[in-house]
A and B are shown apart, each in its own frame.
Chain A
Amino acid sequence: MSDLMKVSSNPHVRSKVTTSSIMLMVVIALLPAAGFGIYNFGVDALILIAVTVASTVLTEFAYEKLMNKKVTVGDYSAVVTGLLLALNLPSTAPWWIGVIGGVFAILVVKMLFGGLGQNFMNPALAARCFLLISFTSIMTNFECDTYTGATPLAAIKSGESVDILSMVVGRTSGTIGETSMIAIILGACFLILLGVIDLRIPGCYILSFALFAGLFGGHGFDPAYISAQLAGGGLMLGAFFMATDYVTRPVTKNGQYLYGVLLGVLTGIFRIFGPSSEGVSYAIIIGNLLVPLIEKITLPTAFGMKGGKRA
């Protein structure tokens, strides 16, 4: 009886899901893509992934120690950032690229804005764009031992034909984690089944991009062209793992649909009308910046309010 009379303040029902358990699931979901990248590009890729993850985790640890803050390395968010960043680097990049990128992602983009949950931009993508602008030739050098040609997207852009099957499997040149559509979808299915992410943003993103590519790509709704655009480059990795980042996506449902469509259109504009063949990173970063506005216009009306005013 006395147990029933227990008085405590809310919340009374607590979920067992914690930040670290979600982040750990994301890490597990990224392992197929990372594993395939190592299989595809060899030991260089493994070293780069290890260095980048070590760099993000150590940066977070060192910053929090120096600033006398609670050390939050245990929540795996730095591991996710490091892993995502590494999967976005070409396997030919020297090790110090991973270190600079990791320090920039954690120190400048995440910690200076207040740590996990406060960053207005996806740290891994911001670091990738920082590296892409700073060291353009290193970041776009995809010529490794296994592959010598251009990336599939660059080949499409210059009008050459590409082999769709090898793009879906992932036996093409590109960044470490982006090549294999199958491995990425495998990880994404894992996250969707566990309820960590849902299909709202990736679905809207991919559909709106496919529509945009069909309308403006210059090939009409040619299935071969559209599927090559979908399987090529960082679209899948970006749509499932970076656009869905809890911190930098909109929280409102309608906002997430709008956000997905916005990313699709931006990616289409960058890929089709831009000078570069790839545009997922910049599209998601610009989308991140617009998230506060998207949330503002999609704010649901609270119960008991009419048209945003008290009834």
Chain B
Amino acid sequence: MNNGNAMERLYNGLIKENPTFVLMLGMCPTLAVTTSAMNGLGMGLTTMVVLALSNMMISMLRNIIPDKVRIPAFIVVIASFVTMVELLLEGFIPALYDALGLYIPLIVVNCIILGRAESYASKNPVLPSLFDGIGMGLGFSFALTCIGAVRELLGAGEIFGLHIMPDSYVPCAIFIMAPGAFFVLAALTAVQNKIRISGEKKGKDMSKIQSGCSEDCMNCNEKGCSHRFYGEGKESEQK
């Protein structure tokens, strides 16, 4: 386990363990708000601020919070920061506040934030935790901006509101609707996997530094994991 330095944490969050394309966390805002590149970027940066601050705060408090009530304690910390960010957005960037709407308070239950608090910030010193939050947040922003840009390009012929496609292009409206989010997410994840697999073939170390394992083994596909645990329900079904 490598607690690492700041740059390594940033690289980890942005590429190796990209929360959207690799860990598949935070799917709700990923699918819902990425109707345009601007919305995706706004959501990503908002989440990044909360993530960095809550990681830092939880890391500071990690020796004080009793283990049994750690989840409620994390939620209180996260919710406080989300409320602050929400009020700031409403005051200073009302356009973004209107565009994101309900999804700003929903950052509280974004599993990336709780996941990083649980699996990283509550076990590591303050500075790496802060950079872990920034790295993960940048990865999330990057992913959301990519998805938003592709959806906006195909669904409206624009990127960041700039008209890109020729006038003869007929916008494919499904891409700015809900199904388009799934298509684009799946396609971009496939591209990401392709890059990772060809990197592995060339002998590069593409393994995860520290997985975002939150003991949800049912949905985990990490084959080498020593904690692998099979639910009792499955075995009884086989009998």
Is A135 a contact partner of B177 (Cβ separation < 8 A)?
A: no
Q: Which 6 A-B pairs have CB atoms at the shortest separation, nearest pair first?
A: A134-B174, A134-B172, A133-B174, A134-B173, A130-B174, A135-B170
A86 to B172, CA, bound (A): 19
B179, CB-defined interface residue at 8 Å: yes
A132 to B177, CA, bound (A): 13
Q: Which residues of A (115-133) have their CB < 8 Å from a CB of B?
A: 130, 133
Task: List the B residue with the shortest CB-CB distance to A94.
Answer: B170
The interface of chain A, by Cβ under 8 A from chain B, is 100, 108, 130, 133-136, 138
Q: A134-B173, A138-B170 are in contact. List 7 more A-B contacts (CB 8 A).
A: A130-B174, A130-B179, A133-B173, A133-B174, A133-B177, A134-B174, A136-B173
B229, CB-defined interface residue at 8 Å: no
Output the least CB separation between A229 and chain B (Å): 29
Output the least CB separation between A120 and chain B (Å): 14
The main secondary structure of chain B at its interface with chain A is: helix
Give chain B's interface residue range (CB within 8 Å of chain A): under 10
Output the least CB separation between B167 and chain A (Å): 15
Most buried by B among A100, A134, A136, A138: A134
**Would you give the 0/1 interface string for B170-198, flagging 1 where the beta carbon is closer than 8 Å to chain A?**
10111101010001000000000000000
- 8 pairs across A/B with beta carbons < 8 Å? A130-B179, A133-B174, A133-B177, A134-B172, A135-B170, A135-B173, A136-B173, A138-B170
Output the least CB separation between A147 and chain B (Å): 23
A135 to B170, CA, bound (A): 8
Q: Which residues of B contact A133 (CB under 8 A)?
A: 173-174, 177, 179
A130 to B183, CA, bound (A): 11
Output the least CB separation between A107 and chain B (Å): 11
A136 to B179, CA, bound (A): 15
Task: List the A residue with the shortest CB-CB distance to B183.
Answer: A108
